[in-house]
Amino acid sequence: MNGSTKGYLCVAAAALMWASSGTAGRALFEAGMTPQDLVQMRVTFASLILAAAFVMSARRMFRVAPKDLGYFVLLGGVGMASVQIAYFYTISKIQVMAAILLQYLSPILVAVYAVLFWGERPTAAKMIALVMALCGCYLVVGGYNLELLRMNRLGILGGLAGAITFSVYALLGERAMQRYPPWTVVFYAMLFAGVTWNVIHPPFQYLSASYTAHQWMWILYIVVVGTVLPFSLFFVGVNYVRSTRATITATLEPISAGFMAWLALGETLELPQVLGAALVITAIVLLQLQHEHDPLAPEVVRSQQPSQ
């Protein structure tokens, strides 16, 4: 097996894991858990696991300049903390696939930002991708059906907030990765997100909550299989294939999430929503391919971190 094949398989596995964590999260919400509780446990436990892994095998990953701690507080305590709650709140309100697709608008938003503020060329391919993404999201959220649109209003707002907050997080994270390894950036983002959520949400109440063994199993699944392992696989994959190709491969996530939600939760999408999903994914692929061949494109759009 050559390096490229290994890279694509790693990224595809990461996408499947992220998709399954979204479906698992929706199952927990239907059983009564709140998005705030799940986000608090996810970022807290994930940062603890990463810290333990660093202590055992890579203590250099802890090293950051004291002057950069404030930047990591902003990245994690505001950026990552906001991304996580928007992601799971949206999943709690609308179909899993639709929620993930809304957050996948972030590359489009970053591209718009690059055109408006960085002087990037507004090529025909980028404009087509933007129109396709907007039309696709209109269909995905049920804009063609006013009753469905009204029912999904809070979920749609949450999904758009997720796309915007992840775009900000990606822009901040790219700057940090110019100075530090990706794992250092992810760890401190998770750490300060955990600090934020343990300040604004009652800490440790999950220890006294009456969660069943089945619920704890899904919580740990989301932390390990939905967070730590897919981040590992994604970064391994990027080492073998360009980050642009990795991002394209990661669009397997919303597709597989829709299939998993159908199998596990009985969620279905109407035909116009499926068409909208295809338009959004096509727009993302088109945009990433455009940046792969554009030497003037800002690196942040080429190498966005995974959102989940």
In the chain, what percentage of residues exceed pLDDT 70?
88
Q: The dihedral of CA 161, 165, 168, 174: what is its sign?
A: negative
Domain membership of residue 45 (yes or no) is yes
Structural domain for 294, as ranges: 3-302
Q: How many domains does the chain have?
A: 1
Domain membership of residue 99 (yes or no) is yes
pLDDT of residue 300: 46
pLDDT of residue 151: 67
pLDDT of residue 242: 63
Domain membership of residue 308 (yes or no) is no
Q: The dihedral of CA 211, 214, 215, 216: what is its sign?
A: positive
pLDDT of residue 294: 57
Domain membership of residue 222 (yes or no) is yes
pLDDT of residue 37: 94
pLDDT single digits (tens) 239-250:
777 655 666 677
Residue 111 has pLDDT above 80, yes or no: no
Most confident of 3-12, 47-56, 101-110, 264-273: 47-56
Mean pLDDT in residue range 279-296: 71
pLDDT of residue 296: 47
Could you report how far apart the first and last alpha carbons of the chain are, in Å? 28
Domain membership of residue 280 (yes or no) is yes
Residue 21 has pLDDT above 70, yes or no: yes
Domain membership of residue 125 (yes or no) is yes
Residue 267 has pLDDT above 90, yes or no: no
Domain membership of residue 307 (yes or no) is no
Domain membership of residue 63 (yes or no) is yes
